A and B are shown apart, each in its own frame.
Chain A
Amino acid sequence: MMLALTLVFFILLFLAVPVGHVLVIASGVAVGISDFPPMAVVAQQMFAPTQSFPMLSLPFFILAGSLMMSGELGRNLISFATMLVARYRGGLGSVSVVGSTVFGGVSGSAVADATALGSMLIPWQQKEGYPAGFTAANNAASAMIAVLIPPSIPLILYSLVSGESIGALFIAGVLPGLAITIVFVMVCNLSARIRNFPHRPEPFEWQKFNRLVVQAAPALAMPIMILVLLRFGIATPTEVAIIATLYALAMGAFVYRDMTLVRFKEAVISAGVATGVVMLVIMGSAIVGWLATFTQIPQTFASWAVTTLEEPWLIILAMNAIMLIVGMFIDLPAAILLLGPIFVPLAQTIGLDTLQLGIIMVLNLSVGLFTPPVGTTLFISSTIARVSIIRASRELIPYYFAALFVLALFSYVPMLTIR
C-alpha cells in the first residue's frame, strides 16, 4: 500500500499535478487497491483537520498580514528599514534583509515579501548600480526570514504534526530569524566591500527617524503583541489571530485611514484562497499521515535510523541532508506535513527536543524557497530583476553558506532554541 502511495506520489508530483491533489489522489489510490482500510477513511481523514480549532488561526493570521500589508503601512516599513541600514556599506541590499524581517513580523509570508519588497526595492537597487543578479539573489534569500519571525504559517503546521505549542514555536522562531538577518546583512556588507558596490552615506536624521518609528510602530508592535499574548498564556493561538486581525482592521480604519470595503473584501478573499491552498495540503497529508501510522512507517524508520547511524549527531546530519534535498523539490507546507510525522518519533528516540526539531525543519526547508529547480522566491525575484535563474543562483552561493551556518548552529546547539 505504501509502495503504491510513494510511486503514485512521485510520478504525479513530477508530472506537474498540484501537490495538494497529488496527496489526495496518491493516498486514494493506495487505499483503493487495498482490502483494508475502507475508502471512507479518505473522507474522514480529509475532514478531520477542518475540525481543528488551532488550525483556525491560519486564515486569520494570513488575513491580519494581508490587511496590514495592502495599505500605506508597507511603504512606511520600507522607509523605516531604509533609514536603519541604507547608509552603511551594502546598505541598499541590507534594506531588503531588514525589510523582510519587519515585513515578516506582519505578513508571515515569504512569497508575499519577495513580491512586495522585490517590486519596490529591486528596481531601486539596480538604478543605484547594484548588479541585477545580486538584487535578485538578495531578495530571494531574505524572504526566508518571513517564515521564521512570528506569525509563521510553517511553524503552525509543524505544531499540527508534532503537538508542540504554537506559542513556544513562535518564541523559538525569533532568534533564528534574527540570526539569519544578521548573517545576510553581513553578506551584503562583505559583497559591497569586495565588489565595490555604490555607497551613498547619508547623515542620520533623528527627527526623521523618530517620525518613521511612529509611523511604523503599529506594524512593529504586531509580532510583539502576538508573542506577549502567547508567551504569558493570555490567549490561545486562534484568539491571538482574531485579535491580530481586529488590530489590523482598527489600524487601517483609525490610524492610517486607508481601510475601504473593497480593500477588506480583497484581503478576505486572498486570505481565503491562501487558506484553501494550505488546507488542501494539510487534508491530503492527513490521509498520508494516517496510512503511515497505520503501517508503522515512522517507528520502523526511527529504529532503522538508530541502528544504522547510531550517533545522534549523525542522525541530525542525515535528517538535515534529507530535508535539504526534499526542500529543493517539494514546497514548504507539504514537506513539513510529510516529514514531520516521520522525524518527530526519530527525534524523540535520540533525545532531540521536538521544539528544536521544529526550528531546524523550518530553517532548513525555507532554504528550499531559494534553491533551484523549484525555489518560489528565486523565481519571483529573478522575474522582477529580469535575470536568469542561473545568474541569480550563482549570486546566491554566499547566502547558502550563511544560511547553512545558522542551520548548523541551531541543529547542534540546543540552548539556542529558547523555550
Chain B
Amino acid sequence: MGLFEGRSTSARKLGPEASQSLLMRAATGVDAVFGWLCQALVIGTTVILLAVLGANVVARYAFAQGGIEWISEVPEQLFPWMIAAGIVLAVQRGDHIAVDLIYKALSKRAALFLVLAILVLIIVAYAVLFVITWQTADIVSSQRSPLLGISGSWGYYALMFMAAGTALSSLTIMIKVMVRGVSALPAANPEDSPI
C-alpha cells in the first residue's frame, strides 16, 4: 500500500500520476547514478589496494626489502572511499541490519508510516553529519600526509560522500515507498552479509 494509493479523486487531482511517474523516474535515475558511482569506487579502490598491497608483500618477502614506503599511505587515503561507497550501496540494497520485530507486528498502513518516519530521521541525521564533517574537513585541511603530501581533508570528503549518499539514497527509497508502498523497500541479500 503506497501513500498515494486508495486516495479520493480530489487527492488524485493534487498528486497526478504524471508527477508520481516523474518523481519515480528521478528517484530511479539518482539511484542508478549513485549505484554506478559507488560500484566503480568499490571496484577501483579494491583493485588498487589489492595490487599495491600485493606488490608490497612481494617486495617485503620475495626481495627481502622493508617494503615500499609510500605504499603504507595508500590504504589510509583509499580505504575511507571503499567504506563510504560500500555503506551507500548497502543502503540502496537494504543490507544494513535492523531489528524488525515491532515493524513486522504492525498493520500495513502503520508499517508504511514507520518506514517513512525512519527514512526522514536518517535523511536529517546524515544531512547534519554532512555539515559537521564538512566543518571538520576544513579544520584538518592544512594537515598533509608525510610521504604523499595529501591534504587531511581527503579522507573526510569520503565521509561527506557517505553522508550525502546515505541521505540521497534514503530519499529515493522514501519516494518509492510513498508511491508503491513498503514492498518497494529493498530486500537484503544474504551474500552481502559480513557475518
Interface contact B193-A53, CB-CB below 8 Å: no
Is B195's beta carbon under 8 Å from chain A? yes
Q: Which range contains the number of B residues in contact with the other chain?
A: 35 or more
Question: In the complex, what distance in Å separates the CA atom of A241 from the CA atom of B100?
Answer: 34
Is B190's beta carbon under 8 Å from chain A? yes
Is A110's beta carbon under 8 Å from chain B? yes
Interface contact B46-A277, CB-CB below 8 Å: no
Q: Report which of A24, A51, A276, A376 forms a contact with B85, defined as CB distance below 8 A.
A: A276
Interface contact B125-A28, CB-CB below 8 Å: yes
The smallest C-beta distance from A282 to any residue of chain B, in angstroms, reads 9
Is A39's beta carbon under 8 Å from chain B? yes
Question: In the complex, what distance in Å separates the CA atom of A269 from the CA atom of B191?
Answer: 11
Question: In the complex, what distance in Å separates the CA atom of A42 from the CA atom of B114?
Answer: 26
Interface contact A21-B86, CB-CB below 8 Å: no
Question: In the complex, what distance in Å separates the CA atom of A238 from the CA atom of B80?
Answer: 16
Which B residues from 68 to 99 make CB contacts under 8 A with A? 72, 75-76, 79-80, 82-90, 93, 95-99
B contact residues around A270 at 8 Å (CB) = 189, 191-192
Interface contact A111-B76, CB-CB below 8 Å: no
Question: In the complex, what distance in Å separates the CA atom of A24 from the CA atom of B46?
Answer: 26
A contact residues around B60 at 8 Å (CB) = 239
Question: In the complex, what distance in Å separates the CA atom of A245 from the CA atom of B79?
Answer: 17
Which A residues from 330 to 373 make CB contacts under 8 A with B? 330-334, 369, 373
Is A112's beta carbon under 8 Å from chain B? yes
* Residues A273 and B57 in contact in the complex (CB < 8 Å), given A17-B118, A51-B155: no
Is A268's beta carbon under 8 Å from chain B? yes
Interface contact A53-B125, CB-CB below 8 Å: no
The smallest C-beta distance from B167 to any residue of chain A, in angstroms, reads 11
* Residues A25 and B125 in contact in the complex (CB < 8 Å), given A19-B98, A43-B132: yes
Interface contact A28-B128, CB-CB below 8 Å: yes
Interface contact A246-B195, CB-CB below 8 Å: no
Is A102's beta carbon under 8 Å from chain B? no
Q: Report which of B72, B93, B121 forms a contact with A17, defined as CB distance below 8 A.
A: B121
Q: Report which of A15, A17, A273 forms a contact with B192, defined as CB distance below 8 A.
A: A273
The smallest C-beta distance from B32 to any residue of chain A, in angstroms, reads 15
B-contact bits for A268-287, CB 8 A (1 contact / 0 none): 11111111111110010000
Is A200's beta carbon under 8 Å from chain B? no
Interface contact B195-A40, CB-CB below 8 Å: no
Closest to A373 in B: B101
Interface contact A272-B42, CB-CB below 8 Å: yes
The smallest C-beta distance from A215 to any residue of chain B, in angstroms, reads 23
Interface contact B43-A47, CB-CB below 8 Å: no
Which B residues from 112 to 127 make CB contacts under 8 A with A? 114, 118, 121-122, 125
Interface contact A275-B43, CB-CB below 8 Å: no
Question: In the complex, what distance in Å separates the CA atom of A274 from the CA atom of B100?
Answer: 20
* Residues A16 and B114 in contact in the complex (CB < 8 Å), given A43-B156, A63-B46: yes
Question: In the complex, what distance in Å separates the CA atom of A243 from the CA atom of B190?
Answer: 25
Number of A-B contacts (CB under 8 A): 205
Closest to B111 in A: A16
Is A1's beta carbon under 8 Å from chain B? no
Interface contact B50-A273, CB-CB below 8 Å: no
Interface contact B80-A274, CB-CB below 8 Å: no
Question: In the complex, what distance in Å separates the CA atom of A51 from the CA atom of B155?
Answer: 9
Question: In the complex, what distance in Å separates the CA atom of A109 from the CA atom of B46?
Answer: 20
The smallest C-beta distance from A142 to any residue of chain B, in angstroms, reads 15
A contact residues around B132 at 8 Å (CB) = 39-40, 42-43
Interface contact B99-A269, CB-CB below 8 Å: no
Is A329's beta carbon under 8 Å from chain B? yes
Closest to A111 in B: B193
Is A409's beta carbon under 8 Å from chain B? no
Interface of A is mostly: helix
- Which of B42, B56, B75, B103 has the most chain A CB atoms inside 10 A of its CB? B42
Q: 15 additional contacts, CB 8 Å, given A112-B193, A272-B85?
A: A16-B103, A17-B98, A17-B118, A21-B125, A43-B135, A47-B80, A47-B156, A53-B75, A56-B79, A63-B46, A246-B50, A268-B47, A272-B43, A277-B95, A279-B86
Is B129's beta carbon under 8 Å from chain A? yes
A contact residues around B87 at 8 Å (CB) = 20, 276-277, 279-280
Q: Report which of B75, B97, B122 forms a contact with A19, defined as CB distance below 8 A.
A: B97
Which A residues from 304 to 351 make CB contacts under 8 A with B? 329-334
The smallest C-beta distance from B24 to any residue of chain A, in angstroms, reads 24
Q: Report which of B118, B129, B139 forms a contact with A15, defined as CB distance below 8 A.
A: B118
18 contacts between A and B (CB under 8 A): A16-B98, A16-B102, A18-B98, A20-B87, A25-B122, A28-B129, A50-B83, A51-B155, A60-B50, A66-B191, A111-B195, A114-B190, A273-B93, A276-B87, A276-B95, A277-B194, A331-B195, A380-B190
A contact residues around B79 at 8 Å (CB) = 50-51, 55-56
The smallest C-beta distance from A127 to any residue of chain B, in angstroms, reads 23
The smallest C-beta distance from B101 to any residue of chain A, in angstroms, reads 5
Closest to A275 in B: B86
Question: In the complex, what distance in Å separates the CA atom of A39 from the CA atom of B135?
Answer: 10
Interface contact B90-A153, CB-CB below 8 Å: no
Q: Report which of A53, A147, A238, A280 forms a contact with B195, defined as CB distance below 8 A.
A: A147
A contact residues around B61 at 8 Å (CB) = 234-235
Interface contact A46-B159, CB-CB below 8 Å: yes
Interface contact B43-A265, CB-CB below 8 Å: yes
* Residues A15 and B102 in contact in the complex (CB < 8 Å), given A56-B79, A245-B50: yes
